[in-house]
């Protein structure tokens, strides 16, 4: 292999010569299409070396339906595989082509814009286009395809002389997308006044620019999570301004609770038939029906979770991402793309506006500000003092003098007193780190984590037991442990490392007799609670919204969150704190937030209500250390020798830093014994400067495909920008 071919891509023997283009020869008994008889098909396969288009001939009987974007079935390597027809051409490099077996649906679900986006996402994450399209295009529902084709045919058969009022009598899903003139005046007026970003630096300018048809890009630091000026109303107003300009919009949120809030806010500003939601939680039929409405151009505003980032909106003018620091934005399947990056790529491709919003600011958002790609929309200090709650840290010197044991107690005296006073005015939020009763136990003597003797999983104390002797159960396999002894020191005594939401609710119920205790955790997450006095115990990310805000919030287990083995522990903890604190009433109305943690930098940012300052400091530290997001990161996971060979063949430049390979945490067999060393996975981390990222990731992708084609060694998993690898 030459130096020019270090990436492992096989070069053509006729390098530099143009391959001859030939018209395909008809197979026996098959008549080919008279025009454009060659179809380029992207096969649905996760194999890296099949991540390209293949040429097939188009039979004459399929010529009308076999249009770019439709789903087809083709024969490949003796198998019937599904795929997408991406292009029709007149000739191919070979004249002996297999014919397309079947057109599954004549609906062109893959638009050229979505295909370009999928290719860009695959290139950024070293993945395959097929894997990206699996998320971008919902599964087909045959009946809806047939109805869509009938409505489309009926709409096309309407003569141009028929008035618009008569055409509007057709089914709603067949109507064309709204033009600027067709937007109701009342809708436009409601979307423009009053400005919900008034008092935010650059806020009014962003909305004005958006309504005028411009493409501003900004990072918003929202103050409130409830009420008429909450984040979802601010995003809805930005969407209404974009809709008023005659353009489309896409807004992506982490979960269903946020989606319901945003949907209600948008419904108050736009007509009910002008927007849809796209989320897998709705089920195949409603999701695909809404997808077809967007595809037809009838609807130009899409709200949804991470898969909605690919919605084929016509003439998009605005892309919004709420709380981009939430790991729910990361796709759980390869290539593990982040919806924020998908929207950023779309904004670049369409020259559209972009709005990253959150109560906290991610370091990725801060990097966009540092590079001047986006401008900040931040509340002025006067507005922040008016809207934000008062934040008290039980670890500061004043509180420590008043309560010397505050650092040892899970519920310090100040937190208990604040909750007692606030209950007279409304509900009190109690944020805890984990669900369950006692989800983490350790040896009382040596502090070694208590583990199951069968699978080495962590032991927990489930809720509902009584008596002095705890009942232990494995969190992984569910096996009960009736005779525990520490494997390190032999002690039988245990201590609770983390107290779960169920145990916290039980203890608070005893501490505040007569007060209603509401739990929002695990499988019982509540979206809304009443304004009456109640203790609302919620795990992180499951905090319900009170219509008029919480009277107080207690942020417990802060030290446990900050001690997590993650580069983003501080950033993630502060994000969770800000999300909870934004649900509390202003300080002028007695709103109080009590945080129980000792980290001065993170707690100080919450006390000062300064998410931007913390993000700027955190990013500067990572720039000094060469850590993400100041650089890009790629993780290689597999066997040790396979990773070493992979890196050697990459021929990385000296500016690229490689760490490892190092063994991951060893697994265990069902018997409880450790797995053999040869079965242990290893991981290497590659830290890539942004200036070299496109070239290096391209080499990673090409080498992965080359190894798969040649079946060289065992597979090596390549993952780019993973949030959980460091």
Q: What is the pLDDT of residues 438-463, one digit of tens each?
A: 456 778 777 677 788 777 777 777 65
How large a percentage of the chain has pLDDT more than 70?
A: 81
For residue 711, the tally of other CB atoms under 10 A from its CB is 9
Q: What b-and-e string marks burial along 543-580, b requiring 16 or more CB atoms within 10 Å of the CB?
A: bbbbeebbbbbbbbbbebbbeeebbbebbbbbbbbbbb
- Give the mean model confidence (pLDDT) for residues 19-37: 75
Could you report how far apart the first and last alpha carbons of the chain are, in Å?
34
- pLDDT tens for 486-518 read 878 888 787 665 555 566 666 676 667 888 888
- Starting at the edge strand found earlier in the chain, the sheet holding 632-638 runs 657-663, 682-688, 632-638, 717-720
The pLDDT of 560-577, averaged and rounded, is 90
Residue position matching structure tokens 């003092």? 385
Beta carbons of 618 and 570 less than 8 angstroms apart: yes
How is residue 544 annotated by DSSP?
Answer: P
3-state secondary structure at position 344: helix
Residue 470, pLDDT score? 59
pLDDT at position 437 is 42
Residue 171 DSSP code: -
Interstrand relation of 632-638 and 535-539 (parallel, antiparallel or unpaired): unpaired
pLDDT at residue 175, rounded to an integer? 38
pLDDT at 396: 67
CA distance 664 to 655: 26
- Could you read off the pLDDT of 161-191 as tens digits, one per residue? 544 434 433 333 333 344 433 444 444 444 4
Q: What confidence score (pLDDT) does residue 444 get?
A: 74
Closest Cα to residue 354, out of 324, 382, 391?
324
- Count of residues for the chain? 726
Q: Which of the pair, 186 or 25, is modelled with greater confidence? A: 25
For residues 321-328, give the mean pLDDT. 95
* pLDDT attached to residue 376: 97
Tell me yes or no: is domain 632-720 CATH 3.20.20: no
- The reported pLDDT for the residue numbered 169 is 35
In order of 440, 444, 449, 481, the CA distances from 490 in angstroms are: 19, 11, 13, 15
Structural tokens at position 445: 């003597």
Among 183, 178, 172, 179, CA closest to 289 = 172
pLDDT at 171: 38
> Looking at the domain 142-158+196-384, which fold is it?
Rossmann fold (3.40.50)
Helix (H, G, I), strand (E, B) or coil at 595: strand
Domain boundaries, the chain: 24-106, 142-158+196-384, 388-622, 632-720
Q: Which position has the higher pLDDT, 408 or 248?
A: 248
Can you tell me the mean pLDDT for 574-582? 96
């Amino acid at each position: 292999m030459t130096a020019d071919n270090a990436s492992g891509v096989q070069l053509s023997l006729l390098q530099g010569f143009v391959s001859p283009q030939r018209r395909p020869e008809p197979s026996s008994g098959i008549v080919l299409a008279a025009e454009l008889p060659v179809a380029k098909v992207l096969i649905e396969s996760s194999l890296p070396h099949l991540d390209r288009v293949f040429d097939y001939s188009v039979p004459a009987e399929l010529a009308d339906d076999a249009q770019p974007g439709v789903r087809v079935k083709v024969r490949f390597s003796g198998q019937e595989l599904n795929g997408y027809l991406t292009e029709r051409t007149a000739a191919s490099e070979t004249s002996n082509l297999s014919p397309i077996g079947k057109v599954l649906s004549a609906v062109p679900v893959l638009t050229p814009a979505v295909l370009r986006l999928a290719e860009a996402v695959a290139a950024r994450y070293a993945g395959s286009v097929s894997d990206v399209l699996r998320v971008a295009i919902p599964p087909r529902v045959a009946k809806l395809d047939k109805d869509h084709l009938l409505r489309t045919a009926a709409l096309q058969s309407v003569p141009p002389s028929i008035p618009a009022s008569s055409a509007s009598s057709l089914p709603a899903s067949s109507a064309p997308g709204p033009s600027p003139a067709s937007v109701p005046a009342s809708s436009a007026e409601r979307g423009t006044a009053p400005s919900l970003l008034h008092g935010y630096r650059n806020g009014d300018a962003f909305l004005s620019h958006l309504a005028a048809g411009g493409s501003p890009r900004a990072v918003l630091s929202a103050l409130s999570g409830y009420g008429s000026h909450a984040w979802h109303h601010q995003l809805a107003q930005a969407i209404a301004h974009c809709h008023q300009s005659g353009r489309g919009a896409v807004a992506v949120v982490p979960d269903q609770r946020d989606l319901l809030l945003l949907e209600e806010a948008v419904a108050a500003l736009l007509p009910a038939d002008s927007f849809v939601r796209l989320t897998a939680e709705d089920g195949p039929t409603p999701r695909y029906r809404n997808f077809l409405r967007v595809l037809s151009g009838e609807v130009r505003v899409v709200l949804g979770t991470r898969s909605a980032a690919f919605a084929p909106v016509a003439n998009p003018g605005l892309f919004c991402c709420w709380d981009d620091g939430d790991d729910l934005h990361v796709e759980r399947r390869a290539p593990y793309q982040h919806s924020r990056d998908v929207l950023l790529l779309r904004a670049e491709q369409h020259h559209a506006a972009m709005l990253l919003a959150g109560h906290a600011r991610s370091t990725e958002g801060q990097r966009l500000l540092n590079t001047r790609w986006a401008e900040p929309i931040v509340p002025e200090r006067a507005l922040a003092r008016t809207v934000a709650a008062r934040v008290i840290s039980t670890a500061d010197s004043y509180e420590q003098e008043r309560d010397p044991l505050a650092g040892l107690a899970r519920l310090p005296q100040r937190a208990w007193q604040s909750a007692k006073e606030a209950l007279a005015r409304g509900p009190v939020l109690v944020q805890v780190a984990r669900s369950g009763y006692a989800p983490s136990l350790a040896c009382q003597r040596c502090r070694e984590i208590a583990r199951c003797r069968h699978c080495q999983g962590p032991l927990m104390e489930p809720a509902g037991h009584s008596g002095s002797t705890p009942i232990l159960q494995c969190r992984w396999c569910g096996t009960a442990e009736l005779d525990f002894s520490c494997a390190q020191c032999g002690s039988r005594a245990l201590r609770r490392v983390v107290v779960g939401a169920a145990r916290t609710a039980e203890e608070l119920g005893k501490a505040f007799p007569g007060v209603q205790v509401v739990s929002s955790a695990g499988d019982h997450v509540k979206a809304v609670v009443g304004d009456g006095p109640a203790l609302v115990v919620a795990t992180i990310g499951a905090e319900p919204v009170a219509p008029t805000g919480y009277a107080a919030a207690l942020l417990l287990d802060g030290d446990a969150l900050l001690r997590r083995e993650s580069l983003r522990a501080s950033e993630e903890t502060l994000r969770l704190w800000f999300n909870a604190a934004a649900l509390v009433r202003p300080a002028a109305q007695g709103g109080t937030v009590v945080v129980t943690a000792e980290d001065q930098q993170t707690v100080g940012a919450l006390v000062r209500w300064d998410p931007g300052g913390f993000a700027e400091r955190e990013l500067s530290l990572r720039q000094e250390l060469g850590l993400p997001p100041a650089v890009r990161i790629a993780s290689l996971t597999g066997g040790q020798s396979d990773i070493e060979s992979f890196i050697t063949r990459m021929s990385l430049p000296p500016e690229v830093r490689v760490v490892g390979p190092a063994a991951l945490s060893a697994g265990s067999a069902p018997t409880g014994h450790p797995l053999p060393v040869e079965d242990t996975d290893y991981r290497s981390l590659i830290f890539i400067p942004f200036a070299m990222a496109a070239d290096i990731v391209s080499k990673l992708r090409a080498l992965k495909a080359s190894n798969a084609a040649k079946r060289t060694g065992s597979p090596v998993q390549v993952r780019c920008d993973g949030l959980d690898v460091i």
